[in-house]
Structure 1
Amino acid sequence: MTYNIFTAEHLPPSRISSALASSLSVEPNAVDVADFDGDQDDRNWDALALCDYSHVLGDVALNLDVFVQGAVSHQQSEPDFAARFAAAAQTVVLYPAEERLPSAYWLVTPSGLVTRARLLVSDGERPEYSIDAVEAVVPELSGVRVMQLPEIVREQHVPTPTTSEFMHAVDLLRKEQGSPLDPALVDEAGSPLYYSRVYLDEWEGMVRRMESGWQPAGRYPVELYGEALLARDRLEQLMGQLVRPVADLLRNSVGQIDDGFKMRTAPDDTWAAEAGVSRSLTDLGECGWWWRRKPLVLPWAKN
């Protein structure tokens, strides 16, 4: 098993070794710790746990690469290991999140607080790391801003059955038509049908989150809410550009999602300016009705 973590503090090798032994429930002499850039001749390559550490610049101090032999009976998950190590070493620990984003990390404190973190790295021969934002207040990092990370929300999959039904209906049209294929039924990058699918999925995804009480976090960034309204703008344009019967299918699908949106929102002409989204009060009078409604409970007010 391998683990890759950052620590917020500079830890001497003895403290790293002791924390590893405690975290992995092994004897201290079964742990080998060494500077990645140092002398490797005296390493105990048969140790149950091997750790290479590197000094880094910025808001984190050390990068630890830990390899645990299969002989260690309890192979912990990375979240469990990070939490145990943070408590044992009494330092904040960051470890990579599951999303495919270089900046996406989990952060755990010695007291056991776990939250999302955005860890940025600079370009250069010696990169510098900065903890740009976290999703909960971390007492040890009082200067770091607290906010919901929109890039994480974007990565979280939300089922969009209405969009799937729309595309299934389009597939049936293709089968009925045969060859040659009507350009209106071509789903490739840049085509009207492609954009219809993308924007319908975005609009439905936001409304489905609203219907679930903004799960899984119970919050939702206002900038993503605004992006979903922009997607609804584009759907309105596409419904006027597509030929029948594709336009009719899209109009029916959008209508179903709109109904769910109306049920969970209330009329409001000022929310956009108050929340700081791109639309101005003047713009609201000229755009779709969906811009003049706001959620019954504002999810970004909880950030």
Structure 2
Amino acid sequence: MNYGFWIHGELDRERLAPALAELLAVTPDQVDVGDDGDDDRNWDAPVSCTVSPVSGDLHWYLDVYAGAAITNPSAEPIAAAWLANRLRTVVAYQALPAPPSAFYLVGPDGTRTRARIYEQDSDGPTILRIDAVEKPLAAFPGLPVAPIPEVIREYRMPTPVTDRVRDAAPEARDFAMRLGAWESMVSRLAEGWAPDGWYPAEYYREDLKIRDELAAEAHVEPLAEVDSRFVELTTDDGGQALTAATGPIPTGWWWRRIPNPLPWQDTPGRA
């Protein structure tokens, strides 16, 4: 198990090894902590932590490796919250491989928020800048608070109907691609707007435009199956809510249907 954590502020090294030991159920002498480039290490230790300096809004990177001797290691979000509490600081960890700016920040009180963090070009140590967070952290005041919607598109949703189309008719690539995008939104709706429980009105509008592109396929059973699920999950308000949020809407019965509650009603980072 590998963990990657970024630390804000001074790193309390006296607390680091005991915190990792307690987290991973070993003794502190079974945790090897060393600086990047230091060859005088206990490479046979069950847990190793390599410390590297970074610059900007975060100051240290911890590359933690828990070897095979560690059974049932904690998931990264739990481990990050543990370290934030024990080290009494803010800990960052990457949320998704893409986009690379997608992070979580967790404070010593356990408060967690999504964060957008960019790496600046540098010939020296890595420079990291926190561009925005979705909710304030008491331990890290002054950060810009704003929605971070780009992670939504990267979060893959199940598309069983589309998968059947791809398996049965590989040549129907264009249809399957559009159907997959439409089914992905309907699946997200059904599951409560993963990953964070909200969805921008602009994204919803884009999905309905994809349904426009499928209008000529209305007779096709896979599309009818996805449409039926969409109808079950929405109500017809005549298009009022989406018009209020994004402007006038085209024709098409799908443009008149909305979920309740609206997924953009409680957008993070907005008053």
Please indicate the TM-score interval, normalised by the length of the shorter structure: 0.7 to 0.9
Residues 260 and 46 of structure 1, relative CA distance in 2, 3 Å threshold: closer
- Pairs within 5 Å for 1:65-144: 65-71=63-69, 75-97=73-95, 99-126=97-124, 127-142=126-141, 143-144=143-144
In the alignment, the residues of structure 2 paired with residue 167 and residue 31 of structure 1 have an alpha-carbon distance, to the nearest angstrom, of 49
4+ residue segments displaced more than 6 Å:
none
What 5-or-longer segments of structure 2 have no aligned partner?
A: none
- Confirm or deny that 1:229 pairs with 2:197: no
Residues 118 and 272 of structure 1, relative CA distance in 2, 3 Å threshold: same
Contact 1:107 1:117 in 2 (8 A): yes
Residues 260 and 148 of structure 1, relative CA distance in 2, 3 Å threshold: farther
> In the TM superposition, what whole-angstrom CA distance separates every residue of 1:219-247 from its partner, at most 9, and x where no partner exists?
223232122112112222xx2xxxxxxx5
- Pairs within 5 Å for 1:98-247: 99-126=97-124, 127-142=126-141, 143-147=143-147, 149-161=149-161, 163-167=162-166, 171=169, 187=171, 193-215=172-194, 217-236=196-215, 239=216, 247=217
2:265 — aligned with what? 301
Contact 1:22 1:88 in 2 (8 A): no
- Confirm or deny that 1:265 pairs with 2:229: no
Percent identity over the alignment is 35
Question: What displacement does 1:128 show?
Answer: 2.3
Length-normalised TM-score, structure 1: 0.71
Residues 147 and 30 of structure 1, relative CA distance in 2, 3 Å threshold: same
SS across alignment from 1:210: helix
Residues 294 and 46 of structure 1, relative CA distance in 2, 3 Å threshold: closer
Quote the RMSD (CA, aligned, Å). 3.3
In the alignment, the residues of structure 1 paired with residue 51 and residue 253 of structure 2 have an alpha-carbon distance, to the nearest angstrom, of 56
Question: What displacement does 1:253 show?
Answer: 3.7
Residues 50 and 291 of structure 1, relative CA distance in 2, 3 Å threshold: same
> In the TM superposition, what whole-angstrom CA distance separates every residue of 1:69-97 from its partner, at most 9, and x where no partner exists?
55556744433332322211112212233
Length-normalised TM-score, structure 2: 0.78
Counterpart residue type for residue 103 of structure 1: S
In the alignment, the residues of structure 2 paired with residue 74 and residue 260 of structure 1 have an alpha-carbon distance, to the nearest angstrom, of 38
- Confirm or deny that 1:33 pairs with 2:12: no
In the alignment, the residues of structure 1 paired with residue 223 and residue 71 of structure 2 have an alpha-carbon distance, to the nearest angstrom, of 54
In the alignment, the residues of structure 2 paired with residue 30 and residue 118 of structure 1 have an alpha-carbon distance, to the nearest angstrom, of 35
Contact 1:135 1:149 in 2 (8 A): no
What 5-or-longer segments of structure 1 have no aligned partner?
A: 172-185, 188-192, 240-246
Residues 268 and 69 of structure 1, relative CA distance in 2, 3 Å threshold: same
- Confirm or deny that 1:274 pairs with 2:217: no
Residues 104 and 260 of structure 1, relative CA distance in 2, 3 Å threshold: same
SS across alignment from 2:223: helix
1:57 — aligned with what? 55
